[in-house]
Structure 1
Amino acid sequence: MNIGIIIIFHNNEEDIDTKVFAQQLDYANNIEFCLVNNASKDNTYQLLKEIKDTRMTNVSIIDIKKFKSDVAAVRAGARYLSNQFTLKSIGYVSTNLINIKCNGLSGLIKSISENRKEIIGCNIEALERQETKLTLFKSLFSVIDYLKKIKVENQFLNLQYLSKF
């Protein structure tokens, strides 16, 4: 079962190590990544394009020209993923809402890859508790919330979620 993960970037040039990040994305099997550049004023978009240009088949990039809220950026990524792929679950992460300075983006991707089945399990449980069928946007889930819920035993356990959608 494939899942989609939307990662929102805004002025994260200094946080992106293209080589390491691309390696982690390459190991993420059965996960479609949608990297959304939310009107960065630095070279974030160029770095994301470099990652995509390393022949990443599971990576898509969206460039939002005018800054939007994280919710709007997530919606743009969700629309793209739902139109391009048949995915059972779509999650999101905003790099501006987590502490990536200490652990790096590659640690986030590693956490998602290693815990893919558990993340899907959490999402299935949440969807089964719903009495009515949710729309695409209401069925999106926070990857960080699920990682915290399953008590991931790695460097991302200490993430501090600064705010919620």
Structure 2
Amino acid sequence: MKTGIIIICHNQEKTLDTLQCVQHIHHSKNIEFCFVNNNSNDNTYELLKEISEVCQNVSVVNINKYKKDISAIRAGARFMFDQFTIQYLGFVTADMIGKYENLSQLLAKILNNQLHIVSSRQSFLKQRKMKLTLFQSLFPISDYLE
């Protein structure tokens, strides 16, 4: 089974280096990425589409009216669960991307911590006594980055 990562993007054109992002994504194993374009005013959506055309494990969801992060995350989660068999589903908000120099740097950090993210999430879920619903099972990737 795969791990899904939803990345919310809003006006990220200036911090979106498609070539570097593609290189990082090609090195990912068992990760399905879903970029959610949250009504960007710039060329973010077009750049995300370029990435998805080159990378088989990338999908893009476009939201035409700006939504709060939680609504954008839910849109991505519904898409991911409809399209793929996902064991773990994490998310990154647009604010989190802003903490890094660019999206490529964030992707590199996620890939470098991929095993830690999955093993920590497995441990957390083993401690839970009840099965989580779709939206309860979502988790912020930032909690697992070192």
**TM-score scaled by structure 2?**
0.94
Q: 1:87: how far off?
A: 1.1
- The 5 A counterparts of 1:13-162 are 13-54=13-54, 56-102=55-101, 104-147=102-145, 152=146
Q: 1:97: how far off?
A: 3.3
Q: Deviations over 1:16-70 (max 9, x none)?
A: 011111111111111000000001111110111111122x100000000011110
Structure 2, unaligned runs of 5 or more? none
Q: 1:98: how far off?
A: 4.1
Deviates more, 1:65-74 or 1:114-123: 114-123
Q: Specify the SS of the correspondent of 1:68.
A: coil
Q: Specify the SS of the correspondent of 1:36.
A: strand
> In the aligned structure 1, how far is the partner of 2:49 from the partner of 2:62?
10
CA contact (8 A) 1:15 1:101 kept: no
Alignment match, 1:155: none
Higher normalized strand content (fraction of residues)? 2
Structure 1, unaligned runs of 5 or more? 153-165
CA contact (8 A) 1:28 1:109 kept: no
Q: Specify the SS of the correspondent of 1:137.
A: coil
**TM-score scaled by structure 1?**
0.83
CA contact (8 A) 2:100 2:106 kept: no
> In the aligned structure 2, how far is the partner of 1:74 from the partner of 1:120?
19
Q: Deviations over 1:52-104 (max 9, x none)?
A: 122x10000000001111001111111111111111100000122343453x2
Q: Specify the SS of the correspondent of 1:53.
A: helix
